[in-house]
Amino acid sequence: MSLRIIPLLLLLIPFLSSGAQPNGLERALSLIELLSGEGMNVSRQVDLLNSALALYRQGKVKEADDLVNEALNELVSLQAELPSYTFWRDLWLLLRISAIASVPPAFYYAFPRIYAYLWYRARRKWVVRRIK
């Protein structure tokens, strides 16, 4: 039954996704949602879009469109960097967790040896005397 549904769904996909092409502002908002959700800093683009929205409210459509395009271009550049950003973010997280997780084994191995070394070093001038 499910095998019959899959081709039907595949046929429907172009129709389901053939909504109105998003304009520049909507595309910029979608990218802001995507990139900030991944942890990228989009504060500058948010400021640009808020400035554009203020200009739209004042009826300055041309200037507003320019700002939206500027923000959109920057967001598209950031989107191109997203795979490498997520790779390095995840790698850095993995390295930090590995470093912390390696502390207990390192402590188990090194602490008795360091303690013994310091113990003997602190007593190296001691003289052993046999008590009769």
Partner 1 sequence: MILDDEVFAVLMAIVIVSCAIAIAMTIPRKTEPFAAIGILNEEGKMNYPRTVISGKPLKLNVFIDNHEGRASAFIVFVKLGSRGNIPNNTNPLNSEPIWNYTIVLNDRSNITIPVELNLSGEGNDVAIVFELWEFNSSKWVYTGRWCHLYVNLTRGAPNG
Residue 43 CA: distances (Å) to CA of 7, 32, 109, 125: 43, 9, 47, 64
Residues with Cβ within 8 Å of residue 132, at least 6 apart in sequence:
none
Q: Please pick, from the candidates 13, 119, 121, 130, the single residue that binds partner 1 as defined by CB under 8 A.
A: 119
DSSP label at residue 125 = T
Q: Does 33 bind partner 1 (CB under 8 A)?
A: yes
Binding window for partner 1 (CB under 8 A); candidates: 5-13, 49-57, 61-69, 79-87: 49-57
CA distance 31 to 70: 13
- Summarize as ranges the residues that interact with partner 1 (CB under 8 A): 22, 26, 29-30, 32-33, 36-37, 42-43, 46, 49-50, 53, 93, 96-97, 100-101, 103-104, 107-108, 111-112, 115-116, 119
